Structure 1
């Protein structure tokens, strides 16, 4: 990401003295980059549609190291993680960015360590170019580090992040996932919480040759929270990274994914959907780099926007000179339910190879009057007819989630958040 060259350290005021007195060289370098660039504003091209005023209005303290266990249990129950099939899955629970061992169950086929103990930063992120990543590097205190050995199937693993605060805070988990050759894993990330906070996670993913990672993120943060998540993924020969993000919560959210197809026949899917209302702002930004020949990337993102909600889609596919026979596809579709709702879409192709198949597009529209008339003519009330069409639009997007457990979880949470008229939540 581009940075503004003059000193803009004044934008870091909400974090007070939390950036002072750091001696670790990685953290010091990140803080130096932050002081040079500041937090991005709308003069930075990649942030022109998304304002971070939310972060500058209130000081953001470090969260307390203790948490309310009863409240955590209630949050897990509200997410449907305490009973049924999801309750049986291995899980790593973080509260305000710190590992909550009493609520976690370690997976059997996955090696797990924690950033709080290792203090290991990966090599994929770019704190010198990405200010939110630099902020994470400066303030990260914990995070999950998952490693699946060669040929192993890690199954389904839940990575649950809960915000819990009565005063404005920020927390910055530092996660990583490494799959060795031929390994498999389905990672279901759940982001939720209560109160006013900034959740600023960074996730680094390395997928080795012929390995397969399915990664589904359900973002249902508190309505007074901000979630600014950045993922870096690198995929080796014949490896697959299949990502899906469902955005439902937060006053301000941004899911930013940098995926690099580093060797021939690698595959990346970066799909997602958002359903927002009120004054919510939801941003999906991606940079998919084809750095090797014969690779495939797919991206489909759908938005349903009501009230004064605003959705943002920025998707860039970069094709290097060596990346011949690239197959890339990108589509953003938006359904606007209100005259005041807004979508800002910027699909982009940057191609330097001459033997490629790449396409992109964007569509924006309202509910189809003919379809509404059809349902109403058969006795379906207007409000219910509208909800049926909205859910049908979203169901097509959720159909891109290959893992049945993750798809069921997302479908249930969508139905609870936005029930069809006449149905119970």
Structure 2
């Protein structure tokens, strides 16, 4: 009973913190939309998309560190020591690589200044370090500390980004403020990546390799979960594209709502070889998603307000389909992290194939809004079933253990 109460408390703390983070992030986007002219807001949106793609490295680093601590808690201090060096090197490398793309992306996306993309690279450095800090907090089950990092991440973006906009209403100034604000969770997490371990630090290569492979899997997921948005943007008329974009607000909301489940359950997923934990977690995500679907079906007028209001009236009757799509995408998200926790191979291939199926169906058939969201929902449902069965089909043993006793050579 105490264990269940503790788990519920942990989920509640993390869920509230992630909700606060998402509200703060939304608040910044709302302010930016009001203060920037459309051209500058479009540039900022493109820059934030670049941040989103590069942030898969931070998520991968978080997952790799959390998994290693979860399966070898007796070596936590040494793992943290190794992680501190790897996270610094990886964050600088990814930040520099992103900044270097300015010579290509600035003319390609018509950014007014080359500094905008350079500042994206500057922001990625603290974001990646934050991922490492979250991995330590997650792996050691310090949920309150993890919640502080989530809140700091959201308010760092809100305070820093708005400050940048107040200095100058431009995408470049906003990115400068965001890059500074992104250091807030790093400051709040100070101490998590320090260790006085008496053990020899472990080799950095396994952690780097796991981070790279995890990032590749997460990149596949982000490509799949956004493929319909790209199809709608490029294949629909402007009006229908806007309608679909409004529906995607509900899809993303349904997707983000249960993400705290994957965060809290991740250490248990890494240790549990019975598959019981993954089924419980998937069931909880499904229940939360079904609640949103039911609410959307029963209260379509309220759902319409949340996705943009009366100007999107045409899509009101189909909003529940977007909630269904978001539900299955949330289950896929959980199962992708389950695969990372278990170090299951081949998952990225399945996810890329799912993205290819949606793309192929959309471009070989004249499907409209309902057809595209239905295709996305069905594909995500099939992918969920495959990912649930994947470890059983592979007859995988217990999660792979790490050779944590090998000192760095």
Q: TM-score, normalised by structure 1?
A: 0.24
Give 1 or 2: higher helix fraction: 2
Give 1 or 2: higher strand fraction: 1
Q: TM-score, normalised by structure 2?
A: 0.25
Which structure would you say has the larger RCO, counting Cα contacts within 8 Å and 6 or more residues apart? 2
